[in-house]
Amino acid sequence: MYKHGCVDVFIIGPMKRVRLNANNPIFTVNYAWDHIAERKTGSIERTFQQVVDNALCNPCTHILSPDACVSVSAFYGLLINREHVADNPRNDAPLNGIIGLSDVHSQDTYELYERLGIYSARPLDTGGFGLLGRTLSGLMLFKGMDQFLMNNPNLVWAVCRAPENLEFIVPDRFAGIVDTRFYHHLTIPIGPSVALVADPSFVYHKQLAAWQLGTINAMAKAVARRYYFSRDLDAAISLRRLISNWLDV
């Protein structure tokens, strides 16, 4: 969303607002999965980026095509399950009762197998052979994504725009517990004032009203765990601007 420049970040723990470069390490993910999973996620991300580029280049775009909706849903499913896997990394899993395993390969060879997409049992630090935790995390990553797609087979995504001078908030995660219920944000900002939205309450509104943006941003803040950000948080959470724009609608 923001590859260059600076953004306003609100850090939830200390209740502190800071101005950071968009390339700050706070926005990076500590991978808990293997090279195989990371390579597979790359193709999903590239397809999603094509949808984003097309949406940004064509201001008339609103409801996405069925194929584009599937691509965005796959990316969203990947996004929320990355968060889950990163929070809950898997431990190594010993393989017991299997004969014929021997420590004949070097660590570099096992790493090469992984980069080539070959799953292999390897010596564990705890002794014996088994699958590494990051391999299991990679498998769980795609299991979760597939589960999301199966549970939401006909999700409609649309390009929605914020009112003039207002912006979307980007949370550090896109699903979580809100008021004791699990909530999917179903909004992926792709620019300060442009987002892909699948929430049925907003998906058919190409140009959002101020109160609609306020609702979306309030939920973004609710699902955020460590931080949320925008290019200009004053343009995302300013009640005065929201009310002013709402009265003009």
Q: Is the pLDDT of residue 4 over 70?
A: no
The mean pLDDT of 125-140, rounded to a whole number, is 81
| Mean pLDDT for all residues in the chain | 82
Residue 30: band (very low, low, confident or very high) from pLDDT cuts 50, 70, 90: low
The pLDDT value given to residue 26: 65
Percent above pLDDT 70 for the chain: 78
| Alpha-carbon dihedral sign for residues 13, 19, 25, 28 | positive
Find out whether 155 and 212 touch, Cβ atoms under 8 Å. Answer: no
pLDDT band at 125 (very low <50, low <70, confident <90, very high): confident
Range of weakest confidence among 25-29, 94-98, 104-108, 145-149: 25-29
Q: Say how far apart CA 86 and CA 141 lie, in whole Å.
A: 9
**More confident: 193 or 122:** 193
Pair type for strands 16-21 and 6-11 = antiparallel
CA–CA dist 45, 78 (Å, integer): 9
Instruction: State residue 140's pLDDT score.
Output: 86
* Higher per-residue confidence, 15 vs 28: 15
Asked if pLDDT for residue 207 goes beyond 90, the answer is yes
